[in-house]
C-alpha cells in the first residue's frame, strides 16, 4: 500500500507487519481502560484485531489485501495463521516452564478435582449444544462450530471437520459445505469465548470480595519439590536459556504431532498440548545430565506476554473478516450460552461441592474452557504464576473430552 502519494511505500509482508504493530499498540491502550476495576487487559488486542480484520481484510478480496498480494484474503489468513501459531507456541511453552517446578506436586494433590471440573465443563458445554440443536433448531455442524469457538478449542474445531468427512464420506460437496458451516460457527462464537472468560476471572474475585493475599497463600501451599541438585554446577548453552526453550518446543511439536485413532477420527495433542506437556516435563527435571534446561524467568515472562499478544492478533484479524460476513444475532447468542453455562455452573460446583480455593477454581476453569487469553489475565489478577499449574492440570482432560463430545454430537445428530 502506498501512503501519501508515494512518499512512503509499505507493501507485502511489510504492510502486514505494520498492521500487527498498529493492532498491538491500540490493543494495549484499549486494554488499559478500566471500568470499576475490570479491564480487557491483553484481550483488548483481540478486540482491536477483530475491528481491523472487519474494516481492512475481507473474505472475498477487493481490498488492501488484494492490492498487496494480488490474491484473495485467504492468503493473508495464512500469514496471520503463522503469527497465531508462533504466539501460541511462545505462550504455552512459557507457561509450562513457569508452572513445571510445582506442577506435579500440585497434580498429586488436586488431580481428581481438576479432572472432574474439566469433564463437568465439557459435558455441560455438550449438553448446551444439544439443547440448541433440539430446542432452537440450530444446524448440527453450526452448533459444533459454535461450541469449539465458545470454548476457544482448535482441536475440537479440527476434530469436528474430520468427523464430518467420515459422516458424509463420498460426498465431497456436502463435506465442503459442512466444513464451511463449522468454520463460520467457530468464528462467530470465538469473540465471546475469549472476552467472556477474560472478564469472568476478573469479576468473580470482586463479587466475592476475596482476600487476594489469602487466596495466593492457598494456591501456593504446595510442596515445590525443590531440586536435590541445587549445589551441582550445570552447563548453560546461552545466557537466557533460549536453547533450552527451543529444545522443549521441538520435543513438544513432535509429541503433539502423534495421531491416536479415536472412533471415526483421530486425536493428537497438537502444538498447544505437545508444547505444554514437553515444557512441563523439562521444567520439572530442570536439566539433561549436566545441561541446564532452565530459561531465565524474565525471558519466560516476556515470551508469555508477547506470545499471547501475537496469538490474539493472528486469530483476531482473520476472525474479524469472517465475523462481519456471517454474523447473525441468534448464532452469537447460542455461542454466548455455550460459554456462560459451563463456566458459571462449573465454577459454583467447584466452589461448593468440589471445594476448590478461588484461584485453584479459576485456574481450573481457564484450563477446562481451554482459554489461553483468560489464563494470561488470571495471572495478572492473582499476581502469581501458581495459577498456571491449575490451568495445566485441567487443560489435557478438557482437550480430549471436547474432541470426543464434538465427535459424538456430529455422529448422533447429523
Summarised one tens digit per residue, pLDDT across range 241-277 is: 899 999 999 999 999 888 877 666 666 777 878 888 8
pLDDT in tens, 270-303: 787 888 889 989 998 988 888 888 899 899 989 9
| pLDDT bracket for residue 9 (50, 70, 90) | low
Q: Is the pLDDT at 36 greater than 70, yes or no? A: yes
pLDDT in tens, 363-379: 999 999 988 888 888 98
Mean pLDDT, range 381-402, rounded to an integer? 86
Mean pLDDT for 82-94 is: 89
Answer whether 413's CB lies under 8 Å from 127's CB: no
Q: Is the pLDDT of residue 87 over 70?
A: yes
Set of cell numbers at residue 106 = 500440585
With 0-12 / 13-18 / 19 or more C-beta atoms within 10 angstroms meaning exposed / middle / buried, residue 84 is buried
CATH class assigned to 2-225+239-413: mainly alpha
Domain ranges of the chain: 2-225+239-413
Q: Which pLDDT score, from 0 to 100, does residue 222 have?
A: 53
Compute the average pLDDT of residues 3-32. Answer: 76
Q: Considering the entire predicted model, what is its pTM? A: 0.76
2, pLDDT greater than 70: no
What average pLDDT does the chain have?
82
- Name the strand (E) or helix (H) holding 319: helix 297-326
Question: In the predicted model, is pLDDT for residue 131 greater than 90?
Answer: yes
Nearest to 301 by CA among 369, 221, 239, 383: 383
Q: Is the pLDDT score of 67 beyond 80? A: no
Residue 96 predicted with pLDDT over 90: no
Reduced to 3 states (helix: H, G, I; strand: E, B; else coil), residue 126 is: helix
% of the chain beyond a pLDDT of 90: 32
Q: Which positions ≥6 away from 394 have C-beta within 8 Å?
A: 114, 115, 117, 118, 363, 364, 365, 366, 367, 368
Instruction: Give the DSSP letter string of 209-262.
Output: T--HHHHHHHHH-S-----TTTTS--B-SSSS-HHHHHHHHHHHHHHHT--EEE
Give the confidence band of 224 by pLDDT, cuts at 50, 70, 90. Answer: very low
Amino acid at each position: 500500500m502506498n501512503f501519501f502519494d508515494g512518499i512512503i511505500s509499505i507493501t507485502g509482508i511489510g504492510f502486514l507487519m505494520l498492521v500487527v504493530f498498529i493492532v498491538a499498540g491500540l490493543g494495549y491502550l484499549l486494554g488499559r481502560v478500566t471500568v470499576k476495576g475490570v479491564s480487557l487487559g491483553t484481550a483488548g488486542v483481540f478486540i482491536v484485531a477483530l475491528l481491523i480484520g472487519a474494516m481492512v481484510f475481507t473474505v472475498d478480496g477487493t481490498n488492501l489485501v488484494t492490492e498487496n498480494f494480488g490474491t484473495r484474503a485467504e492468503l493473508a489468513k495464512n500469514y496471520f495463521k503463522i503469527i497465531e501459531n508462533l504466539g501460541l507456541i511462545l505462550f504455552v511453552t512459557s507457561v509450562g516452564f513457569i508452572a513445571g517446578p510445582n506442577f506435579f506436586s500440585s497434580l498429586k494433590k488436586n488431580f481428581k478435582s481438576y479432572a472432574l471440573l474439566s469433564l463437568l465443563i465439557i459435558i455441560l458445554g455438550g449438553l448446551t449444544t444439544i439443547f440448541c440443536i433440539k430446542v432452537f433448531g440450530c444446524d448440527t455442524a453450526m452448533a459444533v462450530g459454535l461450541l469449539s469457538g465458545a470454548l476457544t478449542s482448535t482441536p475440537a474445531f479440527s476434530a469436528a471437520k474430520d468427523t464430518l468427512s467420515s459422516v458424509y464420506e463420498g460426498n465431497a460437496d456436502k463435506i465442503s459445505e459442512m466444513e464451511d458451516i463449522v468454520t463460520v460457527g467457530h468464528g462467530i462464537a470465538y469473540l465471546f469465548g475469549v472476552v467472556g472468560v477474560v472478564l469472568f476471572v476478573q469479576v468473580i474475585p470482586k463479587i466475592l470480595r476475596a482476600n487476594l493475599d489469602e487466596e495466593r497463600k492457598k494456591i501456593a501451599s504446595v510442596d515445590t519439590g525443590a531440586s536435590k541438585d541445587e549445589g551441582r554446577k550445570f552447563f548453560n548453552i546461552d545466557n537466557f536459556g533460549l536453547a533450552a526453550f527451543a529444545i522443549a518446543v521441538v520435543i513438544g511439536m513432535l509429541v503433539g504431532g502423534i495421531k491416536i485413532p479415536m472412533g471415526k477420527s483421530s486425536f493428537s495433542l497438537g502444538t498447544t498440548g505437545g508444547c505444554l506437556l514437553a515444557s512441563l516435563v523439562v521444567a520439572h527435571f530442570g536439566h539433561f545430565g549436566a545441561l541446564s534446561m532452565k530459561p531465565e524467568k524474565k525471558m519466560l515472562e516476556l515470551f508469555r506476554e508477547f506470545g499471547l499478544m501475537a496469538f490474539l492478533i493472528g486469530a483476531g484479524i482473520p476472525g474479524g473478516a469472517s465475523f462481519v460476513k456471517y454474523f447473525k444475532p441468534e448464532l452469537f447468542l447460542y455461542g454466548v450460552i455455550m460459554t456462560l453455562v459451563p463456566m458459571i455452573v462449573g465454577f459454583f460446583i467447584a466452589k461448593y461441592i468440589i471445594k476448590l480455593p478461588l484461584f485453584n477454581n479459576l485456574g481450573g476453569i481457564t484450563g477446562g474452557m481451554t482459554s489461553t487469553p483468560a489464563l494470561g489475565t488470571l495471572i495478572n489478577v492473582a499476581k502469581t504464576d501458581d495459577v498456571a499449574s491449575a490451568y495445566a492440570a485441567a487443560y489435557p482432560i478438557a482437550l480430549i473430552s471436547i474432541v470426543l463430545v464434538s465427535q459424538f454430537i456430529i455422529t448422533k445428530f447429523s
